[in-house]
Structure 1
Amino acid sequence: MKKNYSYLFLCCFILLSHYVFSQSLKGVLTDENRLPIPGSNVKLIEKNMVAVTDSDGKFQFLNIDYGTYHFAISAIGFKTQEVVFTFSDETIVFNTELSEEAYLLQDVEIIGRKEKSYKNSKSFSGTRTETALKDVPQAISYVTKEVIEDQQAYRVGDIVKNISGASTFSYYSDDITLRGFRTSSSLINGLKRIIGEGWKQPILANIERVDVIKGPASALFANTDPGGTVNMVTKKPLDEDRRSISFGSGSYNTYRIGGDFTGPLNESKTLLYRLNLAYQNAESFRVLQGSEDIMIAPSFSFIPDDNTQINFDFVYARSNGRLDRGQPIFGATAGTDLNSTPISFAIGKKNDYLHETNIYFTTSVQRKITGNINFNASYMKFMASEDLLEHRTANRYAVLPDGTTDPTKMEMRTIVRQGKNYSDNVTLYFVSDFKTGPLEHKLLTGYDYLQNTTPAGNSSYGASGYINGLPNVPFFDLTNPDYSLTDMSGYVNVSSQNPQTKYFVNGVYVQDQIKWGKFQALLALRQEHYVDVENYKTQQSRDIKQKAIIPRVGLVYSATEQINVYGTYTEGYQPQGAGIIGTPQTYGGPFDPLISSMYEVGAKSEFFNKKLSVNVALYNIEQNNILINANNPDNPDLLRQVGQQKSKGVELDVYGTVLPNLSISANFAYSEATITKSDNAAEVGTLLPNAPKIQTGLWGKYTFTIPKLKGIGIGAGINYSGERNTLSPILKLPEYTVLNAALSYTIDKFRITVNMNNIFDKTYWAGGYDYNRLFPGTPRNLMLGINYGF
């Protein structure tokens, strides 16, 4: 028995002495400017232990015996280093510096963004080549994934408030206003997705950042909008293991789960992967407007050598919900009271549904042909599928048998629609670096092909109008709404097959970025050929051809090491879509293409060791032949062209860190976007719909560094929008100010975040069409998120 007690005592003594005499090894990682590198991996090889640096670049290993150890240190954008360190005194801190990685293939975005802050230094969106944002002679706003994570944003509409000169037009996909002009499309990694198709806004689960190229971008990306172009940059595979899972729950019975997994698939790190997953089931403050969403987004990179890379991305996104057409209010004859119905008010029936599926895949190849010539090829296939049943307004109030209008009841129609739409986008270009005397050139020559088709079989049926003086579909009573199930067989329905449509674009372009001392010039020219196939796949089929030469000229001057000033002139060209031209009986027409031009001057600067960027831009945009709703009660889809619109204004963007633990994203915009020529003289001088004169936003996050509060972060934001017009000349949306806040706590590998949006429960309208279709902002809401990285 004594021997057993002695043995037990000996074991306890050895175990206790291990903790008594073992020490804590601490270290700090910095870059070449002695600035901390957060989120880096430090692997202690002998112990097979890994630590991740905090926001101050610090890391720690507990219970480590004195001795000599080998460390493998890696961080995105920096060279991986192996360091030998002798640990002999706990008071000695292991300090080391990492050098930036010099990547060979940088003519396309092939690696994860090295910065882990609100600031982004380089982009491919403005020039198709990796260029410092301060060297691009055009304003580019952006929202990084760090802002997205801190605000717990889920869809693109959630981050519009962080972009200068951007405002919401409706809840629909891609439907925002930029510099006063309504947008109609967006890009994914510089490739165009389907135009005007789909209702739900894209999910942000697989997005690294959202870039917004301000003003016309047709010289690079074909038919784009004059106010700006949204480019969603997806997350790329990394050559180091990083995994995280997240859970969330909040207001309106919201439940979320997501995952982000990346790393090498082989020891040589020539095959990399990334997998982003997202699922949300949520209701809404709007009646019957919840949805269930899922996204599966795998991507792979194959890098056999320093000269070649092949990327493959696949995205499956599915949404099951209903189509929210907005809030109706009592008609103009009853006044202009926006509160005549609650903001939760919606029109529809319990058996309405909207099933949307978006599937796309992208493959790209980058090959370095010689030391100064690279070849790049990309292809994207995008498919959108819609299965819809809805009870919606006919965009007018009820007409009674005696011919009078009842502004408390809405005339209704029903739509059942099924269909698909496909787009193909091919981009091929060469990048050549060379010199002519004192001039340094980066020459880009390329070819684009874009095709959009609507196949046979898309069809719809529905009911509308009056039969013998009585409504075919019963009126919707705004004073006593009825959301019950309904039998559509009781209506007189009319079925129709949607016409097949096709349009395609061929474009060739050349761009030269020239550097001479403190001066940089950008010269670009695009020849575009647009073909719209009228009566596609019928005996009356014919090609409607249009073409344009699109120039772009910019000049940058480095006034100081921190400040660049620039000026630019660019043009835009956007033919009217095949769906509009191909259905003149619905939309009217024929319509001329949109033609736009922009002058812009500005300054871009970086402060605090390039950790904070401050950009200012002044612009003047002119557009001709824009389409707007004709407000025809007999045809709610009828469009008409106004002669000319102009937008002029100033924008300010601030991104980055003021202190290592204080990050901000701020924006301000003043603009006047007005109709300057029209066949309706009363319109001249009026502001464009959903284009406020003044809007501003600020979001900041402060992380405590004092020991007792270490790991705690506080975020706060404010957004203001001025008064806005709608499509109705006598209905305006009031100005509003909304306050948001967040509280987070990070401990080890866990991060807990609580966001409260619209703290003071402000009632406001983010956008709107007219009395029949307003889009109110979300009331006070709460979101709790938990993230675990491993």
Structure 2
Amino acid sequence: MPRPLLSLKRFGCVVLVVACAPIAVEFVHAQTPDVSSQCTVATSAPHVSVSGFVSDPSGAMLHDALVTLSCGAIKLQATTDATGRYSLQLVPGTYSLTVAAKGFTTRELPLKVSGTGNNSQDLILNVAQENSTIEVRAGANGYEVNESNEATRTDTPIREIPQAVYVIPQQLLRDEQVVRLADAVRNVSGVTIAEDAGGRQERVTMRGFVTDTTFQDGFRNGPTSNATFPDFSNVERVDILKGPSSTVFGRLDPGGVVNLVTKQPLSEHYYSVTMQGGSYQLFRPTIDASGPLTANKALLYRFIASGQDSQSFRDFNFTRRLFLSPTLTWTPSPSTSFRLYTEFLGGSNLNDRGLIAIGTRPANLPVSRYLADPSLVYPYRQGKAGLSYDQAIGQRWTFRSYERSSTGWANYNARVANALSKDQQTVTLNDLETDQYFQAHYWVNELTGTMNTGKIQHTFLGGVELNYEIYDTNTARPPTGSPAETLNIYHPNYAALPPRSLATSRIDQTRDGYGGVYLQDQVALTSKLKVTGGIRYDIAKLKDVGYFVTVSSSSRATAWSPRVGLTYQPIQAISFYATFNRSFQPQTGTDVNGVAFKPELGRLLETGFKFDTARHRIQGTASVYQINQTNVITADPNNPSFSIQLGEQRSRGVEFNATTHLTHQWDLVTGYALTDATIQKDNTYLVDSFLQSVPRHTGNLWTRYNQTHGLMTGASIGAGVSGVSRMQGQLITQAAPTTSYLVPGYARVDAGVSYERPRDEHWKYHFSFNANNLLNRRYFSGASGRFAVYPGRPRDLIASFQLIR
């Protein structure tokens, strides 16, 4: 689970506490080095240069950090500039290195300065809590992330995780002024947002499979706990784990996991006010305040509030929303920590399913054309609250217990196109209003720790997870026999739509319970060879209660989810890996004999290598994989009114992602994915045809240059291109294989500039200006059938001003 670093010193040991949602506590025994006894200098040698960058764990560069190198009477100091860079001239030797910055930890470490040339040493400072540590790491940069706990729920270097893991850090989200998940994931190959359910939630397509469930701090954000897309004012970074991963995450679609890591309370006072404005009358203010509530800094808070009021490039559409998130962290002792998380999100917009397809392509209509009733609004309200408890047990073990509950309401209220006339001029509107009520309760208890068996190191994880979800709907439709409502797609007359006449047609209730037990062991056989193994057992109890039309049903399903992975690191710069992993997703319904459907199963075979060159100049992952999904529900050929589970789908692909530090001023993010996702077995859809909204090729590039000297110190400029190849807009049926259509491919160019003024007393100023779809390309992001083709935004300009103290 995601959690920021918090560390404590006690009895000469460094205690590393990972505390967040959930908060975790982990002890690492390490003596503080006596750097004074190691101090030596070559007094007659010529001077050499020592330089580097100082950043925080999220990758944000630290201004005004004081770097000191000393040895006896020799003492040299430098302060980092607006880009976090420092530089010193001194003679070779072994020095005492001290790094200090307001709000961050300070610690002395020895640093050996070579006389053979320039010496580069980058540093990462952890946010100061009760007592924290400083981590020294070469190549620290705003786009660099070396560790993730998403794939294993333990803090593990990415190069030791036997699966493809990608992290979109805060600096990249900031450079691109990301507001929606779709804008973030375009930085990772093979991941797209093909559709957003009419503006209600962003459905992620990854490695050929679609999911409507993302995660937030490791907790599920599915349809039963979310009524709209997440607000990014509270997002610190985005973690992406590709492929089936049910061993630690439970029920999942086989594409993978997208996890949003939220911002955490800070131990020093921090205040930020940001104002964003731009195209389509965008107005988006954000307030972020954090700091200690007690003198000993045992109780910390963070309060984030944001709002948005904007129009849309789509006719009539708009976005109005308010987001509030107060968070508290309490550390009563070095071994105990609590965290309370809350959030509220409310707003409204139109239900917008885009354009339609005519023939083999999207209709030749303006991307602004709205093919629904613009008088019907989609309102929503949702709240979340969670409590985490972490307890260190000795120096090697940690117990974590965390719970989060969600509740909310939304009113799906729309007349949307669902049929096209023979003259291809008029669409028939499907009139529907549904009140949706949801609750979700998630509770996880985990024990983690390390131990040795001889020379072999083990990192254990054991957990129990309990989930309970409630989802109730009350649906109203026009009475049977009511005349169809229509709209001309070329000359729509919205005022001519008749008044609505609706009657309750069905009430549905679901009560679903899930329980899982899992074990995992990360075994370091040698310093180069590591094995990760795990197993999970899940029980799902699903209950549907129907009224008027639908039939009540209940079912029980179980699943075993094993995983095994191997990493081998022959040299420091590269590690090879291979993995086998499983996923399961429970299904509702029964076959003709009344037998409940089994869960869909996903199986992953993946191999690849991860690279991390000297001083982290180039980091990345290259992988080859195959995912098989079985137990897919398809039509029963002998009983047309029923279904059977004989369907199978397969995705094969090659992926590459890399972050390159061309220089300390110039960064490059690149990626490419080749995805071959097809139907292997089915009684309805054409075998060997491609899955819906899955481009065969995706690619991305983003580059940023920072000015670190001269009059324009603090300025940066970035630009990039992201694109996908054409994709199927709907699944191809065996009965009518020629009636499908293609969504054309596209390439989109984005650019941005920013300027960060050095601190003026206690204040810092940050200006940004971004142009998305700079060339104003007409494109479609994806589709979910012939009557839901989603157009991309035309040129979109956004400017922001941030004041920080």
Quickly name the TM-score band, shorter chain normalised: 0.7 to 0.9
Aligned equivalent of 1:230, options 258, 270, 294:
258
Q: Tell me how large the CA RMSD over aligned residues is.
A: 3.5
Is residue 142–residue 209 contact of structure 1 (8 Å, CA) maintained in 2?
yes
Tell whether 2:448 aligns with 1:438: no
Q: Which residue of 2 aligns with 1:178?
A: 206
> How many Å separate the matches in 1 of 2:396 and 2:173?
37
> 1:205 is matched by which residue type in structure 2?
S
Pairs aligned (count): 695
Q: Which residue of 2 aligns with 1:135?
A: 160
Alpha-carbon distance, 1:56 to partner: 3.5
Change in CA separation of 1:96 and 1:563 when aligned onto 2, cut-off 3 Å: closer
Aligned equivalent of 2:231, options 184, 197, 203:
203
Is residue 324–residue 346 contact of structure 1 (8 Å, CA) maintained in 2?
yes
Tell whether 2:406 aligns with 1:382: yes
> How many Å separate the matches in 2 of 1:668 and 1:422?
39
Alpha-carbon distance, 1:207 to partner: 0.7
Alpha-carbon distance, 1:268 to partner: 1.1
Q: Which residue of 2 aligns with 1:220?
A: 248
Aligned equivalent of 2:188, options 163, 172, 178:
163
Is residue 464–residue 473 contact of structure 1 (8 Å, CA) maintained in 2?
no
> 1:528 is matched by which residue type in structure 2?
D
Question: Counterparts of 1:37-436 in structure 2 under 5 Å?
Answer: 38-40=61-63, 53-57=81-85, 73-74=100-101, 79-80=105-106, 117-172=142-197, 173-195=201-223, 198=226, 200-329=228-357, 331-332=358-359, 336-393=360-417, 395-398=418-421, 405-436=422-453
Is residue 562–residue 605 contact of structure 1 (8 Å, CA) maintained in 2?
yes
Q: Which residue of 2 aligns with 1:759?
A: 774
Alpha-carbon distance, 1:37 to partner: 8.5
Q: Which residue of 2 aligns with 1:701?
A: 704
> How many Å separate the matches in 2 of 1:628 and 1:243?
55
Superposed CA offset, 1:155-188 (max 9, x none): 1122121122112221232412100011121111
Change in CA separation of 1:54 and 1:485 when aligned onto 2, cut-off 3 Å: farther
Q: Which residue of 1 aligns with 2:33?
A: none
Alpha-carbon distance, 1:287 to partner: 1.3
Is residue 386–residue 419 contact of structure 1 (8 Å, CA) maintained in 2?
yes
Alpha-carbon distance, 1:497 to partner: 4.3
Q: Which residue of 1 aligns with 2:667?
A: 663
Is residue 328–residue 346 contact of structure 1 (8 Å, CA) maintained in 2?
no
Alpha-carbon distance, 1:406 to partner: 3.6
> How many Å separate the matches in 2 of 1:100 and 1:199?
38
Alpha-carbon distance, 1:516 to partner: 2.0
Alpha-carbon distance, 1:82 to partner: 10
Is residue 751–residue 787 contact of structure 1 (8 Å, CA) maintained in 2?
yes
Tell whether 2:676 aligns with 1:675: no
Secondary structure at 2:492 match in 1: coil
Secondary structure at 1:148 match in 2: helix
Secondary structure at 1:407 match in 2: coil
Change in CA separation of 1:275 and 1:43 when aligned onto 2, cut-off 3 Å: farther
Q: Which residue of 1 aligns with 2:94?
A: none
Q: Which residue of 2 aligns with 1:525?
A: 535
Secondary structure at 2:338 match in 1: strand
Aligned equivalent of 2:607, options 601, 607, 614:
601
Q: Which residue of 2 aligns with 1:740?
A: 750
Tell whether 2:783 aligns with 1:768: yes
Alpha-carbon distance, 1:628 to partner: 8.3
Q: Which residue of 2 aligns with 1:689?
A: 692
Is residue 40–residue 53 contact of structure 1 (8 Å, CA) maintained in 2?
yes
Alpha-carbon distance, 1:73 to partner: 2.8
Is residue 198–residue 356 contact of structure 1 (8 Å, CA) maintained in 2?
no
> 1:613 is matched by which residue type in structure 2?
Q
Alpha-carbon distance, 1:609 to partner: 1.1
Is residue 63–residue 81 contact of structure 2 (8 Å, CA) maintained in 1?
yes
Alpha-carbon distance, 1:532 to partner: 0.7
Is residue 63–residue 84 contact of structure 2 (8 Å, CA) maintained in 1?
no
| Structure 1: 5+ residue stretches without partners | 1-26, 45-50, 60-70, 84-94, 107-113, 399-404
Tell whether 2:725 aligns with 1:722: yes
Q: Which residue of 2 aligns with 1:474?
A: 485
> How many Å separate the matches in 2 of 1:149 and 1:509?
37
Alpha-carbon distance, 1:365 to partner: 0.8
Change in CA separation of 1:102 and 1:419 when aligned onto 2, cut-off 3 Å: closer
Change in CA separation of 1:649 and 1:473 when aligned onto 2, cut-off 3 Å: same
Question: Counterparts of 1:542-553 in structure 2 under 5 Å?
Answer: 543-553=554-564
> How many Å separate the matches in 1 of 2:575 and 2:552?
52
Question: Counterparts of 1:774-785 in structure 2 under 5 Å?
Answer: 774-785=789-800
Tell whether 2:620 aligns with 1:614: yes
Is residue 723–residue 747 contact of structure 2 (8 Å, CA) maintained in 1?
yes
Alpha-carbon distance, 1:488 to partner: 3.3
Aligned equivalent of 2:518, options 504, 509, 525:
509
Question: Counterparts of 1:8-23 in structure 2 under 5 Å?
Answer: none
Secondary structure at 2:428 match in 1: strand
Alpha-carbon distance, 1:349 to partner: 2.4
Q: Which residue of 2 aligns with 1:63?
A: none
| Structure 2: 5+ residue stretches without partners | 1-49, 68-78, 88-97, 110-119, 132-138, 733-739, 759-763
Alpha-carbon distance, 1:294 to partner: 1.4
Superposed CA offset, 1:89-144 (max 9, x none): xxxxxx999786699999xxxxxxx9761221111111111111111111112211
> 2:242 is matched by which residue type in structure 1?
K
Is residue 60–residue 171 contact of structure 2 (8 Å, CA) maintained in 1?
no
**Higher alpha-carbon Rg:** 1
> How many Å separate the matches in 2 of 1:116 and 1:362?
32
Secondary structure at 1:459 match in 2: strand
Change in CA separation of 1:628 and 1:757 when aligned onto 2, cut-off 3 Å: farther
Superposed CA offset, 1:340-376 (max 9, x none): 2111112222321011122111211110011111100
Aligned equivalent of 2:570, options 559, 566, 575:
559
Change in CA separation of 1:773 and 1:627 when aligned onto 2, cut-off 3 Å: farther
> How many Å separate the matches in 1 of 2:130 and 2:622?
31
Superposed CA offset, 1:379-418 (max 9, x none): 010123102321112x2124xxxxxx34211111222222
> How many Å separate the matches in 2 of 1:298 and 1:440?
40
> How many Å separate the matches in 2 of 1:210 and 1:37?
15
Alpha-carbon distance, 1:554 to partner: 0.5
Is residue 144–residue 209 contact of structure 1 (8 Å, CA) maintained in 2?
yes
Tell whether 2:585 aligns with 1:574: yes
Q: Which residue of 2 aligns with 1:86?
A: none
Alpha-carbon distance, 1:751 to partner: 1.4
Change in CA separation of 1:728 and 1:677 when aligned onto 2, cut-off 3 Å: closer
Question: Which moved further from structure 2: 545-554 or 653-662?
Answer: 653-662
Superposed CA offset, 1:478-527 (max 9, x none): 121123385634x3x23134222111111101000111221111010001
Change in CA separation of 1:465 and 1:343 when aligned onto 2, cut-off 3 Å: farther
Question: Counterparts of 1:636-651 in structure 2 under 5 Å?
Answer: 643-651=647-655
Secondary structure at 1:775 match in 2: strand
Q: TM-score, normalised by structure 2?
A: 0.80
Q: TM-score, normalised by structure 1?
A: 0.82
> How many Å separate the matches in 2 of 1:421 and 1:142?
30
